[in-house]
């Protein structure tokens, strides 16, 4: 008998097609848009061998009890796993999979997008144009140029490093990247980043990027 796998939300088209075509599993899934309701989750989990869940799905003792002794593995389609009761997983010796690193580039891209949008007042400019308030003036909608500025990064991990790498060309040869973290990061030297105390980072940075868990 093929192992029974519960998918809690429909995946992107190519991935959904791939998992539905798998011959070596029996797939059950929530086919509506949005997070699976708790009652339905508990119902569909009964007797499954594996669960592929999302960060919106709480995986706790109640859910694990509902799944029963057949449950052998759970994977979450997320980097974080705050929605999972790790102590219950350890108690029951159930392995948990997650997806660290897959969103590093995407998050770093969006971080740079937000920095540029804030510095250049992009949102304000869009609104002004949409409302017909656009004028030409040498002082209208002046923003901040990143050249020669100091970028402060709190947390030089995967995302912080990727963000620093992307911002480095914007600040030019006379700009600086400084960071605060619990430990020295070997990658800092290749990024030209200097470790400083938190108060120093706050005081000296022109732009601050929070790239750590809050």
Convert the pLDDT of each residue in 49-89 to its tens digit. 999 999 999 999 999 999 999 999 999 999 999 999 999 99
Tokens 């029974």 found at: 4
Distance CA 24, CA 7 (A): 15
Q: Hey, where are the domains in the chain?
A: 4-97, 104-210
Convert the pLDDT of each residue in 17-54 to its tens digit. 999 999 999 999 999 989 999 999 999 999 999 999 99
Domain 4-97 CATH class label: alpha beta
Share of the chain above pLDDT 70, in %: 100
Mean pLDDT, range 133-142, rounded to an integer: 90
Give the CA count within 13 Å in the CB-facing half-sphere of 70. Answer: 15
Whole-structure pTM over 0.85, yes or no?
A: no
Mean pLDDT, range 158-175, rounded to an integer: 97
CA distances from 29 to 86, 133, 139 (A): 24, 50, 56
Buried-state track 142-158, b at ≥16 Cβ within 10 A, e below 16 = eeeebeebbbbbbbbbb
Convert the pLDDT of each residue in 168-200 to its tens digit. 999 999 999 999 999 999 999 999 999 999 999
Q: What count of other Cβ atoms lies within 10 Å of the Cβ of residue 205?
A: 21
Decide whether 4-97 matches 104-210 in CATH topology.
Answer: yes
Judge whether residue 206 has pLDDT over 90. yes
Distance CA 101, CA 78 (A): 10
What confidence tier does 153 reach under pLDDT thresholds 50, 70, 90?
very high
CB 188 within 8 A of CB 174: no
Q: Provide the strand spans (E) within 88-201.
A: 96-97, 150-154, 176-180, 193-195
CATH of domain 104-210: 3.40.50.720
- Express the helix, strand and coil content of the chain in percent, nearest 5 each: 35, 15, 45
């Amino acid at each position: 008998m093929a192992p029974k796998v519960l998918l809690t939300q429909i995946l992107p088209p190519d991935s959904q097609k791939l998992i539905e075509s798998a011959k070596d599993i029996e797939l059950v899934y929530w086919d509506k848009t949005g997070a699976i309701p708790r009652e339905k989750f508990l119902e569909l989990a009964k007797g499954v061998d594996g669960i592929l869940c999302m960060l919106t799905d709480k995986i706790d003792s109640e859910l694990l009890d509902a799944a029963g002794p057949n449950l052998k593995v759970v994977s979450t389609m997320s980097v974080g796993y705050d929605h999972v009761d790790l102590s219950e997983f350890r108690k029951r010796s159930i392995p948990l999979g997650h997806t660290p690193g897959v969103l590093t580039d995407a998050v770093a891209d969006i971080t740079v997008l937000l920095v540029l949008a804030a510095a250049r007042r992009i949102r304000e400019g869009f609104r002004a144009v949409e409302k017909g308030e656009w004028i030409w003036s040498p002082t209208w909608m002046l923003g901040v140029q990143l050249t020669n500025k100091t970028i402060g990064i709190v947390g030089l991990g995967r995302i912080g490093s990727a963000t620093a790498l992307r911002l480095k060309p914007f600040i030019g040869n006379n700009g600086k990247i400084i960071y605060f973290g619990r430990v020295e990061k070997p990658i800092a030297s290749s990024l030209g980043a200097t470790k400083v105390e938190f108060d120093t980072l706050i005081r000296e940075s022109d732009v601050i990027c929070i790239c750590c868990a809050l």
